Structure 1
Amino acid sequence: MTPSFHARRHTLYRTAALLFGLGGLPLLHAMSATALHEAATRGDTAVLRQQLQQGVPVDGRDGAGRTALLAATHANQVEAARLLVAAGADVNAKDAIQDSPYLYAGARGLLEILQLTLAHGADLRSTNRYGGTALIPAAERGHVEAVRTLITAGVEVDHINRLGWTALLEAILLSDGGPRHQQIVQLLLAAGANPNLADGDGVRPLQHAQQRGYTAIADLLRAAGGR
């Protein structure tokens, strides 16, 4: 493993630590959240309806740049999300740290909300603050069904983020090599992911898998032509 790999990984985790607190909620979460945002976080559909009927903008922002739909997504409040989408909420509206309802639902494996965003205009080419599609963090975090859903939707499997990593590389580099990530590697390869697309240091997926002792993943890569 190269020094530059360590440096990029350290930067990745340091940035995440600064941006995220307990439970994965942004520390940038504003004290100025509106009643609409608060209702969305609680999943209080009655208050949401009342607020919208009173003319509160469905895509109004709180101090962190979040829409109410993104607030509902953070809390995995599916019915609140459905109501907001039906009222015209933008599934691609990004907050101050470049999360959107679509990107966040994909990254966190929130399958019902992910499917909702895909059915209502999710931009499959949109990227997060690391320059990655929703597929990349879904693969890293072991969200098998989210990965399957995003592949089926048509997200590019070989997209490279600013760290120089694809979904396939992150499913190896940032995983424990266990059954979920083995299944994700299999899904990515079956969808046409390039088994020899190297990282920024020229290290290929098979080499990373071998270095970590991920035998099952290495076997999958070899079977797909990895070297």
Structure 2
Amino acid sequence: MLIEHGAEVNRRSLVGDVFYAPIFLASTEATIQLLLEKGADANIRMSDGSMVLHCMSAKGNETGIRAILSQVKGMADNVNVTNKNGKSPLIYATVEGHEKVAKLLLQFGANVNTGRTDLGGNLIQAITTGYENLAELYIQHNADLNARDSIGDTAVLVAFKRGRMATVDRLVNAGVNLSAAISDDPKAWEPVQDKVLMWASEFGHASIVELLFKQISTCSISYTIKNAALNMAEDKGYSTIVDIFESFGGFEDPSKDKRSGMRS
């Protein structure tokens, strides 16, 4: 083996268009142990600031991660380190859908809310890429349910836009703040629940409409929005949604005196 014959263990070599040190590519416990014994630097960084854990997480190298975390003292302190792009090891595992790696990183103290807040964090990334098992995992590990991505969408909006209705249900039941604004710009203020109600009514998702109305005490939806949503459901023939509107009632137009019903 080249390592045993004096090969430079910390020399970076070009693989594709990226320079890697050997330890970044090690995939077995024995190889990692040998590299470390020969003086490999477990804290070496790539040009973008990525460390061994970043690379192994992106590649789904569960064996390598477990080995280096157990063999290198203090390596667990690096599970939340971000590179120059603001990405943590966990976000790489999330984007690639490496569930076992994600669970391992969380076991060693990875913060589910660390890394690339402009992307919305790991929960939104998992929902965006369709890894619903990862989304559930992150909800269980106290992911910020109300974090926003770079365009102001929260997790529930991202899930809804992509048709991940099981995830929408899960987020609502987990306590997502449906009345949170999607933008910090007051001129563009539009509550999450308004958009969700309109989409649910347009595409026939009765369970979401019902969940929204069950949270009506903490989820203030304007008469105009509710009226528009009801009209949409009626136009599309979604009788179940219309029945839900009727069963909850109490949606009178505040601008009219003694108005009964939602519409004239």
**What TM-score does the superposition give when structure 1 sets the normalisation length?**
0.67
Could you tell me which of 170, 181, 186 is aligned with 1:160? Answer: 181
In 2: Cα distance, 1:184 partner to 1:108 partner: 22
* Partner of residue 141, structure 2: 120
Q: Give the corresponding residue for 1:42.
A: 59
SS in 1 for 2:93: helix
SS in 2 for 1:204: helix
Matches within 5 A, 1:18-29: none
Structure 1 residues 60-209: aligned runs within 5 Å: 60-95=81-116, 97-106=118-127, 110-162=131-183, 163-171=188-196, 177-179=202-204, 181-192=205-216, 197-198=221-222, 203-208=224-229
Q: Counterparts of 1:222 and 1:204 in 2: how far apart (Å)?
A: 15
RMSD, aligned α-carbons: 3.4
SS in 2 for 1:126: coil
Residues 173/63 of structure 1: CA separation in 2 closer, same or farther (3 Å cut): farther
Offset at residue 46 of structure 1 (A): 1.0
Is the 1:44–1:80 contact (alpha carbons within 8 Å) kept by the matching residues of 2? yes
Greater RCO (Cα-Cα under 8 Å, separation 6 or more): 1
Identity of aligned residues (%): 21
Deviating more after overlay: 38-47 vs 116-125: 116-125
Q: Is the 1:131–1:161 contact (alpha carbons within 8 Å) kept by the matching residues of 2?
A: yes
Give the secondary structure class of the aligned counterpart of 1:72: helix
Quick one: structure 1 residues 178 and 208, their matched pair in 2 at CA, closer, same or farther if it must change by over 3 Å?
Answer: closer
Q: State how far apart, in whole Å, the 2-side matches of 1:154 and 1:50 are.
A: 37
Aligned residue type for 1:71? Y
The gaps in structure 1 that reach 5 residues or longer are: 1-29
Provide, for residues 136-184 of structure 1, a one-character-per-residue CA deviation record: whole Å limited to 9, x for no partner: 32233322211121122111222221143334433355679334x4443
What is the alpha-carbon distance in structure 1 between the residues aligned to residue 217 and residue 58 of structure 2?
A: 37
Q: Which amino acid aligns with 2:195?
A: E
- Taking a change above 3 Å as real, the CA distance of residues 100 and 196 of structure 1, as seen in their structure-2 partners, is closer
| Higher gyration radius (CA) | 2
Deviations 1:99-128, CA, capped at 9 Å, x for gaps: 211333355553322222222232344333
TM-score if structure 2 supplies the norm length?
0.59
3-state SS, counterpart of residue 172 of structure 2: helix
Classify 1:190/1:112 alpha carbon distance in 2 versus 1 (closer, same or farther; 3 Å).
same
Instruction: Describe the shift of the 1:223–1:141 C-alpha distance in structure 2 as closer, same or farther (beyond 3 A).
Output: farther
User: 1:47 Cα deviation (Å)?
Assistant: 1.9
On the 8 A contact 1:69/1:91 being kept in 2, the answer is yes
Distance 1:108 1:203, change over 3 A: farther
2:77 is equivalent to residue 52 of structure 1: no
Give the Cα–Cα distance (whole angstroms) in 1 for the partners of residues 176 and 117 of structure 2: 23
Alignment equivalent of 1:210, drawn from 227, 231, 238:
231
